[in-house]
Structure 1
Amino acid sequence: MIPRALTPAAFAGRGARARIESFSGETMGTSWSLHAVSPPAATARRVQAALDLVVAQMSQWEAESDLSRFNRAAPGEWHEVPGELACVVEAAREIARESGGAFNAGLGRLTDAWGFGGAGPVGQIPEGDDVLASRTIDFDPATRRIRRTGGAALDLSGIAKGYGVDLVAEWLLGNGVRHFLLEVGGELRGEGIRPDGQPWWVDVEMPPSSSIAPWRIALHDLSVATSGNYRRGFVADGRHYSHSFDPATGRPIVNGVSSVTVLHRQCMMADGWATALTVLGAEAAIALADGQELAACVVAGDREYLSHGWRAMLH
């Protein structure tokens, strides 16, 4: 798959003798890696610092993160949050609105109860959880303040990793690094091209139970994120429960979708939309992707569903 347009700026500052340097580290319970053409000396340190900032603001697993302290505060009170966290909350609310509520950043109590949050695994189906409780996160963009209802707790695990990719990418671009491939826990963003003139080729991860061949994508000024129900979950009484929740029912999804991959200029939006589309079921997800002009691929069993935007990149 190839983007429909090649940015002329992609060739700026690139030469056949330019070197690719590679860096890696750990963040958000996973790993990160970067392949960059002629990066500055401080690159590894600055990448780690940017990702550490995301953890410090948005982690459910860090007790003193801004998100965790907000979730411990009394509901109904407004709290000013840092700009980066406010940016992600605003994007999450946009996706929630455009998806008809398929994305909900207020499910933190549910994800904890089912063992997918900061409280750790539970290995059993929770009892007595009020699935009809309000899970609303209000946001005032003018003052960068948020508040929650009593049944809500902020959970940005379906979008924050993608934002971390974007935050690092913007630092790289702002410091003259025009050609790179960046990955954080399977979410990727590619800018420019390699010194040999090739784009940054990546293979889309497919569910291990699927016989569908993986797609190969040229990440030229483009991001890709995949939401897979096979990645996390637990088995109770012989049944597998996914970590993806349907906000309408307050329970793990059972719609047959095993993975959703979305391509977008911003990795944060690719990440969030992949999460939202997973909830809807294959046909509804593709219909929404077409309506939002998203390039999306939905896998359900051994069947593949492709949006118009995805198909356009095949020509």
Structure 2
Amino acid sequence: MPGAGSRPAEDARVAIPLQLPAGLAPEPGGLTLEASGRAMGVAWTLRAVSLPGLPPHVLGRVVQQALDQVVQEMSPWIPDTAISAYNRAAAGEWVVLPGAFAQVMDCGLGLAEASDGAFDPTLGRLTDLWGFGPPGPVDSPPSAGAVAEALAASGWRRLAFERQGRRLLQPGGLRLDLSGIAKGFAVDHAAAALRRVGLRHFLLEVGGELRGEGMKADGQPWWVALERLEGEAPGQAPLVLALCGQSVATSGDYRRFLVHEGQRLGHTLDPRTGRPSQSGVACVSVIHQDAMWADAWCTILSVLTPEEGLALAQAEGLAARLLVSSKRGLEERLTPAFQALLD
């Protein structure tokens, strides 16, 4: 997971936003407060420059409530959430979605089309089948027949979504899974809640997805180091990001996986095959204005081959870093937009 540090080491490669907002520096005398908790099955942490009347427990409550709202709408692990209710709906039923849920679905369906199905929010059956969903882990991969059956019941093109009325059609037997986008949205949602109470300088992390606003109390940016993986070129300088009004998401097959007969099968499923992605992309990091988009694009770039992913990322102007498995270990590939942050 990316980590927050003080200052970059002298040998670090530093990525700095091309345009910085005016008036970034915090008020003199501000102190750094910290809060933490758990939501969505992961830990969250907040570091913020203090404001009068906003002690850590208040800020922590703001973050926790925002994250809990996302869980209540979009977690299939809890029976009484909005997504669980949709997954149980009868064939042909139109379900009115809560506002945040509808926003995520709108983004997810747009990215499904933009990526030609490399992103698909309808893989709940397949996620469960491979042992990455609420039913829990499995000892061995599912049969080809079971995968084909679950794949036939899935597919974003089976959905119909009415944006204005926030209505989503349940075509029958389809189960949503928003794990490739919801955590990023949760970061955005909590960050917006912090801004509403007047907080201007903070670094928020939810399970490895980060959002930085403003600056630290000492006037330094919020420095975030991208995690180094075993197999990276030993002489390659570490990458450190200055997060200011930006978010970064990271996804990789080294976090959650199923091991079968010596083969590691990652948790990112390829919607086109119904099986764990075999793209050769070991890790992706994306810097974006919104954590939701960064999170979803990480999922897409983990599914596509490196060549496909880099071409699409370049066409979309994404600042992305890929670590690609090769005979020489993990090779780093940067999009032009990411390289521009280093130049």
Structure 1-normalised TM-score? 0.96
d(CA) in 2 for partners of 1:206, 1:148 = 42
Matched, 1:20 2:32: yes
Corresponding residue number in structure 2 for 1:125: 141
Check conservation: 1:206, 1:259, Cα contact below 8 A. Answer: no
Q: Mark the runs of 5 or more structure 2 residues left unpaired by the alignment.
A: 1-14
**Is the aligned partner of 1:198 residue 2:212?**
no
Alpha-carbon distance between aligned partners in 1 of 2:70 and 2:96, rounded to the nearest angstrom = 16
Equivalent runs, 1:81-120 vs 2, <5 Å: 81-120=97-136
Is it true that 1:7 corresponds to 2:21 in the alignment?
A: yes
1:133 offset after TM fit, Å? Answer: 4.1
Aligned to 1:76: 92
In the alignment, does 2:171 pair up with 1:143?
Answer: no
Distance 2:305 2:238 in 1: 20
Structure possessing the higher relative contact order (Cα contacts under 8 Å, 6 or more residues apart): 2
Q: Which residue in 1 is equivalent to 2:10?
A: none
Quote how far apart the aligned CAs of 1:140 are.
1.0
SS at match of 1:147: strand
Match status 1:159 vs 2:171: no
Where does residue 184 of structure 1 map in the other structure? 206
- 1:281-300 to structure 2, matched below 5 A, reads 281-300=305-324
For the 8 Å contact 2:89–2:170, the answer to whether it is kept is no
Shift of 1:56: 0.7
Return the match for 2:260 from 227, 236, 239: 236
Q: Note if contact 2:33-2:47 (Cα within 8 Å) is conserved in structure 1.
A: yes
Question: Aligned-pair distance for 1:194?
Answer: 1.1
The aligned amino acid for 2:160 is D
* 2:78 counterpart letter in structure 1: E
Distance of aligned partners of 1:61 and 1:214 in 2 relative to their CA distance in 1, 3 Å threshold: farther
**How many angstroms does 1:132 deviate by?**
4.0
Matched, 1:310 2:342: no
| 2:280 match: secondary structure | coil
Kept in 2, the 8 Å contact 1:186–1:225? The answer is: yes
Q: Distance in 1 between matches of 2:154 and 2:256?
A: 26
Asked if structure 1 preserves the Cα contact closer than 8 Å seen for 2:87 and 2:173, the reply is: no
Q: 1:65 aligns with which of 81, 91, 101?
A: 81
- CA deviation profile, 1:241-281 (whole Å, cap 9, x unmatched): 11111111111111211011100010011001111111001
SS across alignment from 1:164: helix
Change in 2 beyond 3 A, CA 1:63/1:207? farther
Report if the CA contact (8 A) 1:134-1:150 is conserved.
no
Question: Which deviates more, 157-166 or 35-44?
Answer: 35-44
Distance 2:137 2:154 in 1: 24
User: Does 207-216 or 247-256 show the bigger shift?
Assistant: 207-216
Using the alignment, how far apart are the partners of 1:116 and 1:208 within structure 2?
A: 24
Moved more, 206-215 or 235-244: 206-215
How far, CA to CA, are the matches of 1:168 and 1:307 in structure 2? Answer: 29
8 Å CA contact 2:63–2:190 kept in 1: the answer is yes
Report deviation, 1:134. 4.3
Counterpart amino acid of residue 313 in structure 1: L
Give the superposed CA RMSD: 1.4
* Residues 225-304 of structure 1 aligned to structure 2 (within 5 Å): 225-301=249-325, 302-304=330-332
Contact residue 252 and residue 282 of structure 2 kept, 8 A = yes
TM-score, length of structure 2 as denominator length: 0.88
CA positional deviation for 1:206: 3.5
Q: How many residues align?
A: 313
Asked if the contact 1:296–1:306 (Cα under 8 Å) also holds between the matched residues in 2, the reply is: yes
CA distance in 2, matches of 1:38, 1:139: 42
- Equivalents in 2 of 1:163, 1:216: separation in Å? 23
Aligned letter for 2:172? G
> Sequence identity, in percent?
46
Q: Structure 1 residues 312 and 237 mapped into 2: Cα distance closer, same or farther (>3 Å)?
A: same
Q: Report if the CA contact (8 A) 1:235-1:241 is conserved.
A: yes
* 2:123 and 2:154 in contact (8 A); partners too: no
- Name the aligned partner's letter for residue 138 of structure 1: A
CA distance in 2, matches of 1:299, 1:90: 29
Contact 1:205/1:226, CA 8 A, preserved across alignment: no
Q: Distance in 1 between matches of 2:253 and 2:183?
A: 17
Counterpart among 31, 48, 64 of residue 48 in structure 1: 64
Distance 1:66 1:210 in 2: 41
Maintained 8 Å contact 2:62/2:194: no
SS of aligned partner of 2:281:
coil
Cα offset for 1:68?
1.1
